[in-house]
Amino acid sequence: MAKPSTVKLKVVERCHVSPQPTSSSAPPPTSECDELPLTFLDIPWLFFPPSQLLFLYEFNYPTSHFTTTILPNLKHALSLALHYFYPFAGTLHLPPQPTKPKILCNRLRDSVCFTVAESVDADFLHLSSDSHRDAALFHPLLPQLDYSLLTSPVTTKPNQLPLLAIQVTVFPNSGICIGLSYHHVLADARTFNNFLKTWAAFSSTSLGGDSYLSTIKSTLPSYDRRVIVDAHGLESIFLEEWWKKKRARSSRKAANDVAINMVRATFVVYPRDMEMIKSWILAQCEKKNEAHPVHLSPYVLTCAFIWVCLVKAQEQAGGGVNGSFCFGEDPNYFGFIAGGITRMCFPVPPTYLGNCVGFGRSTATRKELMGEDGIVIAARAIGSTIKRLDKDVLGEAERWIPEWEVLIGSDIHMMASGSPKVDLYGRDFGWGRPKKIEEVAIDRTRAVSLTETRHVKGGIEVGLVLEKPLMEAFTSFFNGGLRTLLS
């Protein structure tokens, strides 16, 4: 029987959850309305669509059990977490040019839109699998949030936009999906994960656990933006790029629709696979008397293998996708986010609330990636870029935005989002760990999502959304490449 191409939902409740005002353990607000200025590390994320995460949990109870037993506690736990992470309930203030955007937090009026829905006909087991699934199936599970900050209108009056929205969907007698949409300008993955840890800790504690005390101590946010030092004048460079792009695009309608015939799939690279890839790379270097790549971490090995598989799949599709062609000597890029907490030339607290990441872009020609030593070339390029970022994560940062623009939504180049180090699969709200996590925004950014594996320590889950023929080609190269390495 064919799987349905849409997910039909019935809205059970739509409300707003505000930060808990009476928690005595949280620091008192300095004022009724606080301003959180954007740093130069936040501004580049104004160019990106919201991050969209789905956490799918097994839950073998009817909807009535969820709404009466689980839901009140889940909303109360969210209110407690928002008391500590109050900017998540705030708004992004987009003023007229040339003023810098900022985050506004009003302790008396702020809230997060919280929607509860029930699935009418969706197959939870199919949605939470690794197999090829229609990408459009996942969109109804996400809460509504303004898609593009670039396409919001430029007006003479300030424009204030919510930063976070949440939707919980119940699949009767099979599962729960927590859908989150948030603008990355508010927080990087590290900060957002700290927020989720705190919410989950309060939720599981109310259900009988005792983990919240140690969790909230280790995740309480630091709001001191003075720790981010702009020694190179990057803020003015990024702001100029922002306003230039916003003037050019604010009259356009945001492109919320995803191309038809798109499928989503998850591929797992296990530790044994990484060891095979590493051994093969070292053997090739020895055979040709070449120096080993400077950095062969699990992240590098996985990304190198995926990059080559994707290029070969594109080549099989005729040298390009959707009419975008790339030839052998043309450059092919791999872009990724690099954590900045340990890389910045100034100290940043691990619990700093905001963005503290850099950007890396590796380059190889398609001819090199298609060749016999394609994985070696890819690993050498990615590893060398990481080593360069280790020495100077802000080196050439003035080029980040134009380099990002080449990658966002590209059919040819590859960009990785997420990090296997964040441990998203540890988010237990009181009914167990997630069965599956999906990053839905890759439908539009055309990035590849990376998370840790849910079952095997040290593995990496790779999420892709591609046109169906391209996904079939990629699957063939992925499975065939691992079989070749095994042999």
The domain ranges of the chain are 9-249, 263-486
- With vertex at residue 269, the alpha carbon angle to CA 266 and CA 274, rounded to the nearest 5 degrees, is 165
The class of domain 9-249 in CATH terms is: alpha beta
Q: Does domain 263-486 have CATH number 3.30.559.10?
A: yes
User: How confident is the model at residue 207, as a pLDDT?
Assistant: 57
**How many CA atoms does the CB half-sphere of 153 hold within 13 Å?**
4
Nearest CA among 475, 436, 428 for reference residue 452 = 436
Where do the H-state alpha helices sit in 233-346?
Answer: 234-249, 271-287, 298-316
| First-last CA distance in the chain | 37
Classify the C-alpha dihedral 337-343-348-349 as positive or negative: positive
Q: Are 37 and 100 in contact (CB under 8 A)?
A: yes
Element (H, E) at 107: none
Q: Quick one: pLDDT at residue 264?
A: 97
Which residues 6+ apart lie within 8 Å of 238 measured at CB?
Answer: 40, 43, 44, 400, 401
Domain 9-249 and domain 263-486 have a common topology: yes
pLDDT by position in tens, the chain (length 487): 446 567 899 999 999 999 987 544 445 444 555 889 999 999 999 988 899 999 999 999 999 999 999 999 999 999 999 999 999 999 999 887 778 899 999 878 899 999 999 999 899 999 999 999 999 999 999 998 876 677 666 655 567 899 999 999 999 999 999 999 999 999 999 999 999 999 999 998 765 555 566 667 788 899 999 999 999 999 999 999 988 888 776 544 444 455 568 999 999 999 999 999 999 999 999 999 999 999 999 999 999 999 999 999 998 877 555 445 556 788 999 999 999 999 999 999 999 999 999 999 999 999 999 999 999 999 999 999 999 999 999 999 999 999 998 998 888 899 999 999 999 999 999 999 999 999 999 998 889 999 999 989 999 999 999 999 999 999 999 999 887 776 6
Contact 247, 241 (CB under 8 A): no
Give the catalytic positions in this structure. Answer: 184, 428
